[in-house]
């Protein structure tokens, strides 16, 4: 099929404004756009610009797209002036997404830093949606401060129901640690949470998403803890402008992250200089 | 590839025929001494093959190109353009065209132009600046014009010649001429990928980067540098236009992401990035160098950097 860069119309159906400057948008798409966890789309505000954003939820509905969007630049700033009912454009889905078959029946370790929680939430939804799923799910999630923890309530409910094992960490806090609703939070960095949950059993699959510094310190550590480098996955994000392997902005180690990624195993990343 | 012999009247007949069906662009040297791909008039003779300073990518991927106009709800693609012909295209640019064809094989706007494009190549005059990578394959073209013979490389080219007086198929196909200029050969490297990775912290890169102004002239004139930015503009009234515009991997903003992190913050990283694209290729074309050896980057570089010399220095340092 040929690429013409025309976005599909979509309507902002809901905006969850719980976390300041990190609103969760739900878009209603005019046509189906089946999106897998780890894939992304280009969100378009006509006349202002477009930006890539990961899918932040999975509900099996091919006509919705969820995105947790940080107010951080010109276009996202403009989007924060939009309300429910306003129309935007969307192109996608792009990228490979997480290799979901690798997660079947295995213990899963999810590690997120900051906004990296968004794509991992999509994966988490998918995993929880699998009926009679075997294997334990552990989520280690670090953020700047308690108020910037994304989806905190939702995650705490899941922890309370014992559907996931959950540990939060924050960089700064005035009253901590707290331990309520099955969730524990401590002050520190995400990798430090690994000590809390004990060594992963050998067949664990890990998925990591966060800022570059998180990858630098955590991916190899997971391998050292005995997880197969083919089963450690990371979601790399760059400023993808085209999404189709042309514009070259996302190229890392000779690889178009937008079409060949953005999800790679640690084995693959080791062969991509500059990726971590 | 079929060869045809032509008579003395042939090229003017070819020119006339092409003008009837196409807008013609070819390399013309202006009074300022700069060779450009320019619109040819019926009075112009078909120009000899020459290297225009800005290569033919500007025809297929214009510096500013409208992707669509409208709004998010109703977007119109640009309408068809008149078919055009490029004449006097030297072999290295024909190789570059083939490379772009592979990168943009799914791109609607590129394909729309490409499908109607007639390409007439010609042998180049050797230049001092050029060097040649390994090009064991013949370039692709519709017609390739020699002194005595013309070669056809597509059914469109054959159809055109079969309808034209003054040329006839040779009984046996005449071998395609040795088209590459007399530039220096690129040094052969067995494992360039390995050498490139090994060399990442060699001082050599730092030395080249210290001279580099990061001006991006090399990428701008490169026939296979195609990266772009996507830019919106609101027009008077309600209409908006989304364009893609030539970008440049030497610019600081190229690998900048939201939040301020830059994945290629220094000139060295950006220099290596371009070298990697030219010598190793990206994505599905990894292992296919995009450098066609035209030498434009050497001519354009204000500090006299030379990608072939960088390669040679890498090989030399690796050996020592």
Cis bond before residue B254 (omega within 30° of 0): no
DSSP chain A: --B--PPEEEEEEEEE-SSTTEEEEEEEESS-----TT-EEEEEETTTEEEEEE-----S-TTEEEEEEE--SHHHHHHTT--TT-EEEEEEEES----GGGGTTS-EEEEEEGGGHHHHHHHHHHHHHSTT--S-EEEEEEESSGGG-TTHHHHHHHHHTTSSEEEEEES--SS--EEETTEEEEES-HHHHHHHH-PPPTT-EEEEES-HHHHHHHHHHHHHTT--GGGEEEE-----SSSSS-S-TT-BTTB-HHHH-SEEEHHHHHTSTT--
| Count of structural domains, chain B | 2
Same domain, yes or no, for A108 and A89?
no
User: Does some domain include residue A275?
Assistant: no
Q: Answer with the residue of higher pLDDT: A242 or A132.
A: A242
| Count of structural domains, chain A | 2
Same domain, yes or no, for B170 and B196?
no
Predicted confidence (pLDDT) at residue A181 exceeds the cutoff of 60: no
Cβ–Cβ under 8 Å, residues A209 and A113: yes
Strands A183-187 and A165-170: parallel
Same domain, yes or no, for B154 and B191?
no
- Mind listing the pLDDT tens digit for each residue in B6-44? 998 899 999 999 999 999 999 999 999 999 999 999 998
Among B148, B176, B204, the domain boundary falls at B176
Q: What is the DSSP letter of B31?
A: T
User: Does some domain include residue A42?
Assistant: yes
Q: Chain B: residue nearest A4 by CA?
A: B108
Same domain, yes or no, for A82 and A140?
no
Same domain, yes or no, for B137 and B284?
no
Nearest by CB: B249 against A10, A72, A248: A248
Same domain, yes or no, for A160 and A47?
no
What's the gap in Å between the CA of A231 and the closest CA on chain B? 23
Q: Chain A: residue nearest B287 by CA?
A: A254
Nearest by CB: A238 against B104, B263, B273: B263
**Chain A neighbours among B 60-99 (CB < 8 Å)?**
67-68, 70-73, 75, 77
The pLDDT, as a whole number, for residue B186 is 73
Hey, are the CB atoms on B228 and A246 less than 8 Å from each other?
yes
**Chain A neighbours among B 93-152 (CB < 8 Å)?**
103-104, 106-109, 111
Same domain, yes or no, for A225 and A111?
yes
Among B152, B176, B200, the domain boundary falls at B176
Mean pLDDT confidence for A88-107: 96
Predicted confidence (pLDDT) at residue B130 exceeds the cutoff of 80: no
Same domain, yes or no, for B29 and B164?
yes
Q: Chain A: residue nearest B269 by CA?
A: A274
DSSP bridge partners of A87: A11
| Residue B103, SS3 per DSSP | helix
To test the contact with chain A by mutation, choose from B67, B68, B75, B246 the residue with the greatest count of A C-beta atoms within 10 A, namely B75
Same domain, yes or no, for B25 and B170?
yes
Same domain, yes or no, for A108 and A83?
no
Nearest by CB: B228 against A237, A247, A254: A247
User: Does some domain include residue A276?
Assistant: no
pLDDT band at B277 (very low <50, low <70, confident <90, very high): very high
Same domain, yes or no, for A54 and A145?
no
Nearest by CB: A2 against B107, B230, B273: B107
What's the gap in Å between the CA of B47 and the closest CA on chain A? 33
Q: ipTM for the complex?
A: 0.92
Q: Which secondary structure element, helix H or strand E, spans residue B312, and what is its range?
A: helix B307-319
**Chain A neighbours among B 185-204 (CB < 8 Å)?**
197, 200
Predicted confidence (pLDDT) at residue B129 exceeds the cutoff of 90: no
Question: Which residues of chain A are within 8 Å of residue B106 when distances are taken between CB atoms?
Answer: 1-3, 244
Same domain, yes or no, for A32 and A49?
yes
User: Does some domain include residue A111?
Assistant: yes
Report yes or no: B257 at the A interface, CB cutoff 8 Å.
Answer: yes
Same domain, yes or no, for B197 and B66?
no
The most confident of B13-22, B124-133, B163-172, by mean pLDDT: B13-22
Predicted confidence (pLDDT) at residue A214 exceeds the cutoff of 90: yes
CATH code of the domain covering residue A141 = 3.40.50.80
Give the domain range for residue A23: 8-94
What's the gap in Å between the CA of A6 and the closest CA on chain B? 6
CATH code of the domain covering residue A33 = 2.40.30.10
User: Does some domain include residue A2?
Assistant: no
Same domain, yes or no, for B149 and B76?
yes
DSSP bridge partners of A205: A108
User: Does some domain include residue A134?
Assistant: yes
What's the gap in Å between the CA of B260 and the closest CA on chain A? 9
- What is the distance of C-alpha A50 from the center of its chain? 19
Report yes or no: B258 at the A interface, CB cutoff 8 Å.
Answer: yes
Q: Chain B: residue nearest A3 by CA?
A: B107
Separation CA A36–CA A28 (nearest Å): 16
Give the domain range for residue B57: 2-176
Hey, are the CB atoms on A47 and B286 less than 8 Å from each other?
no
Same domain, yes or no, for A172 and A61?
no
The pLDDT, as a whole number, for residue A66 is 98
The mean-pLDDT minimum among A37-46, B98-107, B176-185 falls in B176-185
Q: Answer with the residue of higher pLDDT: B58 or A133.
A: B58
Hey, are the CB atoms on A46 and B71 less than 8 Å from each other?
yes
CA distances to B5, B90, B245 from B148, rounded to whole Å, are 6, 17, 41
Among B111, B144, B176, the domain boundary falls at B176
Same domain, yes or no, for B95 and B127?
yes
Cβ–Cβ under 8 Å, residues B55 and B35: no
User: Considering chain A, what is the average pLDDT of its residues?
Assistant: 93
DSSP bridge partners of B145: B122, B150
pLDDT band at B293 (very low <50, low <70, confident <90, very high): confident
Mean pLDDT confidence for A40-67: 96
Predicted confidence (pLDDT) at residue A183 exceeds the cutoff of 80: no
Nearest by CB: B230 against A9, A237, A241: A241
- Mind listing the pLDDT tens digit for each residue in B213-224? 999 999 999 999
The mean-pLDDT minimum among A131-135, A241-245, B244-248 falls in A131-135
Nearest by CB: A242 against B72, B75, B230: B230
């Amino acid at each position: 099929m040929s690429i013409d860069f025309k976005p599909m119309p979509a309507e902002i159906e809901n905006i969850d404004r719980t976390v300041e400057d990190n609103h969760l948008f739900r878009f209603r798409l005019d046509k189906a756009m089946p999106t897998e966890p780890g894939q992304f789309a280009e969100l378009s505000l006509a006349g202002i610009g477009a930006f890539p954003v990961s899918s932040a939820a999975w509900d099996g509905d091919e006509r919705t797209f969820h995105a947790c969007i940080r107010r951080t630049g010109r276009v996202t700033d403009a989007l924060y002036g939009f309300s429910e009912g306003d129309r935007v454009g969307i192109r996608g889905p792009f990228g490979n997404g997480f290799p979901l078959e690798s997660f079947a029946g295995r213990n899963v370790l999810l590690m997120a830093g900051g906004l990296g929680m968004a794509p991992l939430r999509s994966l988490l939804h998918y995993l929880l949606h699998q009926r009679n799923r075997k294997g334990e799910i552990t989520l280690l999630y670090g953020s700047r401060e308690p108020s910037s923890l994304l989806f905190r309530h939702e995650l705490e409910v899941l922890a309370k129901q014992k559907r996931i094992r959950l540990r939060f960490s924050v960089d700064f806090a005035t009253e901590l640690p707290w331990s309520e609703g099955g969730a524990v939070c401590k002050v520190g960095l995400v990798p430090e949470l690994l000590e809390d949950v004990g060594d992963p059993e050998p067949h664990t699959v890990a998925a990591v998403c966060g800022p570059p510094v998180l990858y630098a310190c955590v991916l190899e550590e997971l391998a050292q803890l005995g997880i197969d480098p083919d089963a450690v996955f990371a979601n790399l994000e760059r400023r993808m402008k085209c999404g189709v392997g042309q514009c070259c902005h996302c190229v890392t180690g000779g690889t178009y992250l937008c079409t060949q990624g953005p999800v790679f195993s640690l084995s693959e990343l080791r062969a991509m200089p500059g990726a971590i | 590839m079929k060869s045809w012999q032509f008579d003395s009247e042939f090229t003017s007949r070819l020119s006339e025929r092409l003008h009837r069906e196409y807008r013609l662009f070819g390399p013309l040297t202006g009074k300022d001494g700069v060779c450009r791909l320019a619109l040819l008039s019926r009075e112009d003779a078909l120009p000899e093959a020459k290297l225009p300073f800005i290569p033919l990518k500007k025809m297929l991927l214009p510096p500013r190109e409208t992707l669509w106009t409208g709004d998010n709800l109703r977007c119109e693609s640009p309408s068809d353009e008149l078919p055009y012909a490029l004449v006097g295209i030297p072999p290295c640019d024909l190789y570059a065209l083939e490379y772009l064809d592979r990168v943009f094989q799914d791109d609607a706007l590129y394909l729309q132009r490409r499908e109607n494009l007639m390409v007439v190549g010609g042998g180049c005059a050797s230049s001092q600046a050029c060097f040649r990578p390994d090009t064991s394959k013949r370039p692709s073209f519709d017609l390739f014009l020699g002194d005595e013979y013309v070669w056809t490389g597509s059914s469109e080219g054959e159809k055109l010649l079969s309808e034209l007086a003054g040329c006839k198929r040779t009984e046996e196909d005449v071998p395609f001429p040795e088209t590459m200029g007399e530039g220096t050969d690129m040094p052969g490297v067995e494992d360039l990928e390995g050498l490139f990775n090994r060399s990442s912290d060699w001082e050599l890169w730092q030395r080249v980067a210290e001279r580099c102004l990061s001006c991006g002239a090399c990428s701008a004139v490169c026939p296979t540098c195609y990266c772009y930015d996507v830019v919106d503009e609101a027009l008077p009234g309600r209409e908006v236009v989304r364009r893609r515009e030539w970008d440049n991997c030497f610019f600081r903003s190229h690998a900048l992401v939201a939040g301020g992190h830059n994945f290629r913050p220094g000139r060295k990283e950006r220099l290596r990035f371009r070298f990697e694209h030219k010598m190793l290729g990206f994505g599905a074309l990894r292992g296919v160098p995009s450098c066609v050896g035209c030498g434009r980057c050497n001519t354009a570089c204000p500090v006299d950097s030379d990608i072939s010399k960088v390669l040679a220095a890498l090989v030399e340092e690796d050996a020592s």
